[in-house]
Structure 1
Amino acid sequence: MATLTRVEFVPSAPPYPYQSPPPPPPPPDRPNNPQTIRSTRRTSLGKHICNVVTLVFLVATVVSFIVWLLYWDRMRSVYLPQFKVESATVSQLNSEGSLLTSTWDITLLATNPNRKHKIFFDNALAGVAYLYGDTSILLGQTQPLQRHFSLDERNNGRVDIKLELVRKSFADGVVKQISNDRSRRLVRFDVALIAYEKFKARLVPSIHYRLKLLCPVDFGFPGNNVTGVLTGLSRCTTVR
């Protein structure tokens, strides 16, 4: 006897009324070409180098400008040292025909008027001259003085000069005129000082000058005194 199977029919779902969204695009392929990778790296490295160079240039420009301002301020405030004769004597002044004998002892007082610069002096030489007519006759000069001496800011210092002549020959007219001045009890000699000076301040380069001073000194011979002494005030002038 045959068995009957019951079959049930289920109605299907209605179709979806909307279209499904398109699938996302695939990710871009990374360049696998070695030449492309190297080119990209070179471009990036070049940009970094350019940025670094630009930054260094800007920093150097700012630093240079600051240094220039400091240097200009220091240059504007530089003053030459001031000298004057503090004491002076001339002894054993004697003439024999065209021969002259004498000893000078002179002390110069030097002043540094600068507030920011210290002054160093090197290879200083001193000499004594006599004005004969319109010609300055160099009677003698010293050996180099103190090899190095300096003046601090707003400070004073002394320079000692000693010069000896023993029967040194000059033109007859020169020695005779000195002897005549001596008999009138007043003789003027010119004291000269030559040195190389360096102005040094912080944070800026040093400034170099060649210093040349001329100090006219009047020596008086009171009474029968054989030693002439400084008469009046003697200030030194800078000769260029």
Structure 2
Amino acid sequence: MASTTTSGAPHKTVIGYPAQSSQVAAGYPAAGTAYPYAAPPPPSYSQAYRPVVPPTGSISPSFLRRMIVAGAAMFVIIGLLFFIAWIVFRPRLPEFRVESASVSQLNMTRSELTATWNLTLFVRNRNTKLNIYYDRVQALVIYGDGSQLGEIPLPPFYQAKKNETWVQFAVGVVDEYVGEGVVTKIAGERAGGSVGFGVTVFAWVKFTTGSWWRTRYSLLRVYCDRVKFGLTPNTGSGSMSGQPRACEVEL
């Protein structure tokens, strides 16, 4: 191919030649070759479109108020039913009294005591509609203002309505330390021919109609104070003086 200029300058003829394959400009792919860079992948669906999830809202105040009101109403109803049942059945405390008692082998040193007490308690369920369960029963022999001399666990027992039960047990101590003051007081009473001992009973009890209504277990406390024991001189033995002694019962 030839090109001619006519600007008045001497004629110059420029002859062009097709570019050789080895004369390709740097940075450009050769003719007839594939594009050297990987094509970007098509956008995925998850990237192109993400569904909008509505935010989870907190519990509304009105719902909370309804729940609180419902819980309070249920609590009031249950309490009212229990109160009505309590009024209808009217649980009464059982009756306790010391029916018979004796002491043997009563002997003392300067601060120690040896003795055996044999006791029979009369227990009556005064309820006409309720039964009583006695559990974890503990009997103690007390002197004076509360000095404990001995104790023994008793088996649990059950009383149907208007039932009467006699509970027999023995409490024994050998060389039990009680202190000089207690020994001195017991010796002083013994010199007068009789000694007063107390009996205390603790028990966890519940009242029940049988199947559908019952109370929780509560601690029953029984105090039989100053049971007089007439002693035979020089033997350390004796029995309860007078009539059966009533006990104070608390719940």
TM-score (norm 2): 0.63
Change (3 A) 1:96 1:205: same
CA contact (8 A) 1:197 1:210 kept: yes
Equivalence for 2:31: none
8 Å CA contact 1:67–1:204 kept in 2: the answer is: no
Q: 2:94–2:249: 8 Å Cα contact kept in structure 1?
A: no
From 77, 85, 90, give the equivalent of 1:71: 85
Shift of 1:202: 4.3
For residue 183 of structure 1, report the CA deviation from its aligned partner: 1.5
* Displaced runs of 4 or more, over 2 A: 63-70, 72-75, 202-205, 222-226
Comparing 100-109 with 170-179, which one deviates more in the overlay? 170-179
1:171 is matched with: 179
Q: How many equivalent pairs are there?
A: 173
**1:92 lines up with 2:105 in the alignment:** yes
Alignment correspondent of 1:235: 246
Which amino acid in structure 2 is aligned with residue 212 of structure 1?
Answer: R
Inter-partner Cα distance in structure 2 for 1:101 and 1:160: 20
Q: What is the identity percentage for the equivalent residue pairs of Structure 1 and Structure 2? A: 32
The alignment status of 1:209 with 2:218, answered yes or no, reads: yes
Residues 88 and 230 in structure 1, CA contact (< 8 A), matched pair in contact too: yes
1:112 maps to 2:125: yes
Which consecutive residues of structure 2, in runs of 5 or more, have no partner in the other structure?
Answer: 1-73
Give the AA of the match of 1:83.
Answer: F
Question: Structure 1 pair 130/72, CA: closer, same or farther in 2 (3 Å)?
Answer: closer
SS in 2 for 1:174: helix
Say if 1:222 and 1:166 are closer, same or farther in 2 by CA, change over 3 A: closer
Q: Is the 8 A contact 2:194 2:229 kept in 1?
A: yes
Q: Write the distance in 1 (CA, Å) between the matches of 2:79 and 2:154.
A: 40
* Amino acid paired to 1:130: Y
Q: Deviations over 1:128-160 (max 9, x none)?
A: 1111xxx42111211x211x2011111100122
Query: Is the CA contact 1:220–1:228 (under 8 Å) kept in the aligned structure 2?
Result: yes
Using the size of structure 1 for normalisation, the TM-score is: 0.65
Task: Give the structure 1 partner of residue 21 of structure 2.
Answer: none
Counterparts of 1:91 and 1:119 in 2: how far apart (Å)?
33
* Equivalent position of 1:128 in the other structure: 141
Number of the residue aligned with 2:49: none
Q: Give the alignment's Cα RMSD to 1 decimal.
A: 2.5
| Cα distance in 2, alignment partners of residues 221 and 210 from structure 1 | 34
Q: 1:151 aligns with which of 156, 159, 163?
A: 159
Gaps of 5+ in 1: 1-59
Q: Is the 8 A contact 1:218 1:231 kept in 2?
A: yes
Cα distance, 1:224–1:97 mapped onto 2, change above 3 Å: closer
Larger radius of gyration: 2
- Name the SS of the counterpart of 2:186 in structure 1: helix
